[in-house]
Chains A and B, each alone.
Chain A
Amino acid sequence: MKSRFLQSFTLVVALGLVSPLTAAPQIGEPAPEFSVVDTRGQVHSLGDFAGQLVVLEWTNHDCPFVVKHYSAGNMQDQQRLAREEHDAVWLTVISSRAGEQGHVSPEQADELTARREANPSAVLLDESGDMGRAYDARVTPHMYIIDPEGILRYMGGIDSNPSRHSADIPEATQYVVTALEDLAAGREVAQAVTRPYGCTIKY
């Protein structure tokens, strides 16, 4: 226990030192730790999911790009695919500051999940924006995949066509899906870093 504490303390100090050079998380490196409360009041940390794939989805229900993927059912499909086919944990993260667009109460968040027939493992309310900043999450939607060893394997956009029209989804490459397939096949993720497109996160 003590050594674990020392380890993380050293890690924090080290991170503090190198942070000017590595503001964003790096593919192939351990993903940033977080500790954020969900809509049911339960605290989730990355360490809780050791041994499982973790998908992070930053969202803002009023953002047209989020709407694009929820109205077409694309995001919900990917949530089911990840959880059912890949035994992944899907965490939807809301980093909007109180009073800003996209900020919701726990009840509103649960209501959105129910109404949109979404299927995340949990919805995290990152009001402080600490988790969002640790991951350098910029836009909604912004996607990350962390492997069972806690290593970051994918970061970037939901798909390859930065448009706001649902009609463009079928033609686009769904990066999270292809990355999950690569990981399931034991391959390196072919496109591990892509351009995230969407609405700026309102920290």
Chain B
Amino acid sequence: MQRLRIIASVQRLLMGLLLLLPIIAAGNGPEKGPVQRDHIEVELVAEHLAVQPGSTVRVGLRMLPEQGWHTYWINPGDSGLPIELEWTAPPDSTISTVDWPYPDRLPIGHLVNFGYEGEHLLPVTVEVPSDLVPGQTFVLDLYADWLVCRVECIPGDADLRLELPIVAAAPAPDPATRELFAWADARRPEIVDWPARFSTEGGQLSVQTEATRPLPVDGWAFFPATENLVDHAGDTFITVSDGLVQLSQPLSTYFTAAPDTLPFVLVHAETGTALALEAQAGNLASTAAAIPATASPNFALVLLMALAGGVLLNLMPCVFPVLSIKALSLAAGAGHDQRRHGLAYTAGVVLSFAILAGVLLILRAGGEALGWGFQLQSPWFVGALAYLFFAMGLGLSGVYTFGTGSMGAGENLARRSGLGGSFFTGVLACVVASPCTAPFMGTALGVAIILPWPQAMGVFLVLGFGLALPMLVLSFWPGLGDRLPRPGLWMETFRQAMAFPLYLAAVWLLWVLARQTDANGLALVLAGMVALAFALWLAGRPDRGQTLATARHVGVAMSLLFALAALGSAARLEQEATDSAAAAWEPWSPARLQEVIDDPNYAVLVNMTADWCVTCLVNERVALDTDDVRTALAEHEVIYLKGDWTRRDPLITEYLARFERNGVPLYVVYPRNGGQPQVLPQVLTPGLVVQALESL
């Protein structure tokens, strides 16, 4: 090794003879102290005046380029070269890689470099062996080979030596290098393990990460550590929104293949914040929410949060009414073995969560990251739930009597008096809990979604246990049980009072339904609810003769049929929900797309989006829904088709697959001459979209 280096040095020396005379003068053995080379002074320095056996010492290469000259970062940018360092240390010492201080952006002509002007330090940490003898000297050699540039570049190299006395006690800091190391520390990026992804689709580098703490919105600079990836002189476009950081920059003309990982640094100069991250290659996530999770969250804490979340769920408007039913039955059956009822209820809840978790994990394995409230995406589900709550409310209010009324199967099961009843009350609690979890349980669920499946299942089970816990405590705690009021007339009052939370829950579901469909859908479902109420009321009437009984049954059946038809019609209105305020776009359909592709007068912009896709929403807000883009759409006669994948439209899934994609966002433009469609980057900027539209 040493000999190879000498041979290389000799070769370099021969070259130097021909070309660079100053190098000859400096070619003899390692030099101590500051060393002058062309346009730069270099020196090997340490943070402390001595070393202690078995400790660590920070050393570094101090570089002082002349005014106007600079050296380079690990990625030099559009031109230049990173420095090469070759250490020689005493046996058993280890030397870390350079803790690169973040660089400055240096525009040179039409290119941009990443590097350092003025005095700077490239620090490393040396682990000193413990068998060193105090009184002797610790010798460290460094061969450094660099390029120092203004506009023109001058290569340079030096063999440097640092000698530090070995002492027994902790050494004192070197006052001469204190400021330099402080400079390097201030520029040392904090390593954060936020999940990050990058894509090189559409001629742009797109990077996305989820911050776990609030970040300033403006003023960020982006330093990719990989060479030959981006056009460093190109504009970096960075948005920070609700913890989601997205950035894009044009790819280098000489970009060929994407690396597997992209280490990068984000710098906010104003606050002195610098963050080092590593992004994985792949499509940008389209998860329901920014997942505020570190890669290895404290699992015990996560479980504790899940438990607390589960207990909290009991207070949610769509869970509490069901619990009130069970509380009623518990109060009614004061003589029974309540512990077993409590355990059966708990088993029902936990098993339901396990099943839901299993389904979610299977779907996740299928490549889809789903939001918890995914059942709510179907108006059928929402409408049916509204019917159920309303019917239960009517029952509690006394419109018809329990037991003889035709109720939802789950409710019927839940009303059963045995252990089975308790079990199914638990199941019902879970089914109705799902709509409420989305806003409140996002964090724990977000963690669960990115965890390996056994841990994710654990989170769900604990969540379920938390949900069942209050009831379980009630059944196990004799003191509490004794405090339950005795059955009596109050129960009728209590039961009737309990109807009102159910009505409120029905109103909330109707509101969700109205947002999914429109006023017509809402009116249809409300009419269906009147029909349902009529059917229940009629069913609860006592019989007066055979003919009347038959008429009554027919009436009940027809009303129920009408309620069902109303729900079906409302569900069909779903896709027609449009936001006419921003009518720059029209809904996507394969037929409409083909029609406009075939029309030589129009070019097409296709946007595949979903309500739960944060990237999509950010892109729409910062780029697609801006005046610039709207003007460009009109000016260049581009038809903007928007497909909404919020509800997993199979036609859209098929369209995505055509572009080898299994998620949104996807942006495609079709030129008006019928040419090949072009996929746009996953992180959009207004300028980029306008430019793409102009090119059609």
A residues in contact (CB < 8 Å) with B: 18, 20-21, 23-24, 62-64, 67, 71, 100-102, 136, 138-139, 155-156, 162-167, 191, 193-203
Contacts and interface: CB of A to CB of B under 8 A. Distances in A.
B110 interface: yes
A63 B155 CA distance: 9
Given A166-B15, A202-B109, A202-B152, A139 B79 contact: yes
B206 interface: no
B241 to A, nearest CB: 27
B81 A71 contact: no
A201 B151 CA distance: 8
Contacts of A101: 151-152
A64 B39 CA distance: 15
Chain B CB count within 10 A is highest, among A62, A164, A193, for A164
A202 B151 contact: yes
B641 to A, nearest CB: 22
Contacts of A71: 15, 18-19
Contacts of B147: 64, 164
| 8 cross-chain pairs, A with B, having the tightest CB-CB distances, nearest first | A24-B253, A101-B152, A195-B228, A200-B79, A64-B155, A167-B11, A195-B254, A164-B155
A74 to B, nearest CB: 13
A198 B152 contact: no
Interface in B196-233: 227-228
Contacts of B589: none
Contact of B110 (A64, A156, A197, A203): A203
B192 interface: no
A202 B227 CA distance: 22
21 contacts: A18-B695, A20-B691, A23-B253, A64-B155, A71-B15, A71-B18, A101-B152, A102-B152, A138-B78, A155-B253, A155-B254, A162-B81, A164-B81, A165-B15, A191-B256, A193-B255, A193-B256, A195-B228, A200-B79, A200-B111, A202-B109
Contacts of B252: 195
B8 interface: yes
Contacts of B255: 193
A197 B256 contact: no
Contact of A165 (B12, B19, B149, B256): B12
A200 B81 contact: no
B469 to A, nearest CB: 60
B224 to A, nearest CB: 14
Contacts of A136: 253
Nearest to A156: B254
Contacts of B153: 63-64, 199-200
B108 interface: yes
Nearest to B78: A138
A43 B147 CA distance: 36
B254 A193 contact: yes
Contacts of A23: 253
Nearest to A195: B228
B526 interface: no
A20 B149 CA distance: 30
Given A64-B153, A167-B8, A196-B254, 7 more contacts: A18-B695, A21-B691, A63-B152, A164-B147, A200-B153, A201-B109, A202-B152
